[in-house]
Amino acid sequence: MKAVHTELHRSHDPQFFLVRGVVKRTTEQPERADRLLKGLKDGKHQLVEPTTFGQGPRARIHSPEYLSFLSEAWDAWKALGDSGPEMIGNIHPVRHAATYPTHIVGKLGWHTADTAAPIGPGTWAAACAATDVAATAAQMVMDGEDAVYALCRPPGHHAYRDMAGGFCFLNNSAIAAAHLRQKHERVVILDVDVHHGNGTQGIFYARPDVYTVSIHADPVAYYPYVWGYAHERGEGPGLGTNLNIPLAIGTGDDGYIQAMEVARKAIESFAPGALVIALGLDASEHDPLKGLAVTTPGFRRIGQVIAKLGLPTVFVQEGGYLSDILGANLTSVLAGFEEAR
């Protein structure tokens, strides 16, 4: 399996992370990519540089106002003269009878769902590079590759059409799915991150052509708390094309594989032409956020179940934070997929 990667991700190096009222350094650091690259090397995967697609793939998913905000945000922030080293909103209007703001502080609050997506001087460039990585992987699959892995950083599945959140700015998995839709009438996104893919769900919630499935730690006690429940099934034309499978905190390999089998049967019933895996490795027993307890051999089993679907597949990197086992878990899930293929 080939892997798409660019070093341009390094321009995004966030520092701020608010956890239960305590400010810490974020776990979404450039070093994550180094550990993932080690996993790719151990798996003997060939690295490919991304194609530059420009705004087109991003504009299929994100609103013009949001893309304009992200591209201009840092310069407007610095022009204030008394601003901090990162952009972190101090208002979140949640848009009840609200008016779209013109001031950068207002726009920052409007376009961020939480405080976990600080914007720095290189964030826009890195986020755009990540979308090119995702779109390149999707294009390679459309051109005949059976499966391609996209090492996207920053991640994307918490990003809505016009809101950043949860370390995410542009929704790489959604962008990959929309790119695949140029060839395939129906596409599935299977999110195996420990956190619910709320942004992805929101983007496709009323669409019948993209089936969104998420297996994640129970949002009763885990981020994003207010999305990711089993009763959320889509709306309007998209009713029935969203499936959430929340798992009890601490669920291990066997419970996770049972959920994977439920997801596999639902996906087969949808009869898609292609598959996007929003690949979170943070379901690991060694992940610092401690949501689920999947072992390294368990990730191999996850890859095997994905392979059984028999679909052209794009793996898009989502979560998986700083732990010694991160690279090994990536090697394991891709190896399991290749073995079962």
Rounded average pLDDT per 10-residue block, the chain, 341 residues = 98 94 93 97 98 98 98 98 96 92 97 97 98 98 98 98 98 98 98 98 98 98 97 98 98 98 98 98 92 97 98 97 92 98 94
In whole angstroms, how large is the CA radius of gyration of the chain?
A: 18
In a domain, 92, yes or no: no
Residue 326: enclosing H or E segment and its boundaries? helix 326-340
In a domain, 96, yes or no: no
Which of 45, 158, 196, 216 does the annotation list as catalytic?
158
d(CA 259, CA 255): 6
Distances (CA, A) of 22 to 16, 17, 18, 19: 10, 8, 6, 5
pLDDT score at 28 = 94
SS3 172: helix
- Listed in sequence order, the residues at least 6 apart from 103 whose beta carbon sits closer than 8 Å to its beta carbon are none
Domain with 208 in it: 2-12+25-51+122-340
Q: Of the candidates 261, 251, 334, 260, which has an alpha carbon nearest to the alpha carbon of residue 295?
A: 251
Q: Which two tokens stand for residue 188?
A: 């599935």
- Beta strand 2-4 with 147-150: parallel, antiparallel or unpaired? parallel
d(CA 285, CA 161): 32
In a domain, 77, yes or no: no
In the block, which residue shows the tokens 């999707």?
138
- Listed in sequence order, the residues at least 6 apart from 58 whose beta carbon sits closer than 8 Å to its beta carbon are 67, 128, 131, 170, 175
Q: Which residues pair with residue 112 across a beta bridge?
A: 164
CATH code for the domain of 253: 3.40.800.20
pLDDT score at 312 = 98
What pLDDT digit, counting tens, does each position of 201-229 carry? 999 999 999 999 999 999 999 999 999 99
In a domain, 307, yes or no: yes
Contact (Cβ atoms closer than 8 angstroms) between residue 275 and residue 190 = yes
Q: Which residues pair with residue 58 across a beta bridge?
A: none
In the block, which residue shows the tokens 């080690």?
38
Distances (CA, A) of 108 to 65, 72, 91, 293: 12, 11, 8, 35
In a domain, 210, yes or no: yes
Residue 9 annotated as catalytic: no
d(CA 232, CA 241): 10
Number of domains in the chain: 1
d(CA 37, CA 326): 10
In a domain, 73, yes or no: no
In a domain, 322, yes or no: yes
Helices 296-308 and 326-340 pack at an angle, to 10 degrees, of: 30
d(CA 122, CA 322): 21
d(CA 77, CA 260): 44
What pLDDT digit, counting tens, does each position of 9-42 carry? 999 999 999 988 999 999 899 999 999 999 999 9
In a domain, 330, yes or no: yes
